Amino acid sequence: MRARTVRRVPSTAILFPGQGSQTPEMRETVSRERPDLLELAREVVGEDPFARVEDGTAFAQPAIFCASLAGWSALTRDGELDCEFLAGHSLGELGALVAAGCLRERDGLELVALRGRLMQEAGERAGDGGMVALLGAGAAERAGELAAAHGVSVANDNSPQQVVLSGARDRLPAVADSASEAGLRAMILPVTGAFHSPMMASAVPEFAAALAALELGEPRATVLSAVSAAPFEDVRGELVQALTMPVRWRETLLALRELGAERFVEVGPGRVLTGLAKRTLRDVELVSA
């Protein structure tokens, strides 16, 4: 009698993207998979956020959040997905917490809409903030040195070859020149503020108050914070910190791998996180749902 082969299911991490991952077809995905979520977005935002994705974070963040949850719904349509870990890049953390059952869906959408509005207002209030991407081999190693030399902050440590700095807009050309001298490519980004830096401090009080009023549930799987690159310990506190602290995405991916994740599934619009994982991890399975 032949022995039956038992197929081992790899430990799975679900990844929820952040701003910049929007695609032209994502509204159609939400309309098809979660028309109820499309209606809820109109109610919470006050209008259809998909129609104004390019008008700033106040619209882009709720639209991407809804598209990510629609992707999650499609992935789990035939039953609950067996995953051990979830993580999100910036606003994607809120999608991950909803999928894990820690946040109710409506609460998550209201938080995202508030977060997007507050970040946009903080950028407009400061008026002089911006971001510059450092690209190429050695970006992760050189970013801290370049940030310190020019008085800006590391905002997104995305992969070994991609790091984004935030700070006063008039300092960014000098950052770009120094990056070029160090053998890196630099690209000043078309954004309205110095996100994930101390220049977002004015967004903190109202966002913290909204989080304090919410009831949180116990997550069904381990959710990692991109602020600590470790499992969430203080959900409210770490979500607030994420407004002004860097997104440690490269370290988060490495932490997921260290915890045992072998399969990484991106559920949101675009393929941004799949690309970052490909540049950061070896010997893992990458899936864009």
Active-site amino acid positions:
90, 196
Question: How many Cβ atoms are within 10 Å of 193's Cβ, its own excluded?
Answer: 26
Residue 134: other Cβ atoms inside 10 A: 28
Please tell me the distance from the alpha carbon of residue 48 to that of residue 172, in angstroms, as a whole number: 34
Q: How far apart (Å, rounded) are the C-alpha atoms in residues 226 and 213?
A: 23
For residue 168, give Cα distances in angstroms to 6, 146, 200.
Answer: 57, 14, 12
What count of other Cβ atoms lies within 10 Å of the Cβ of residue 84?
17
Distance CA 147, CA 152 (A): 5
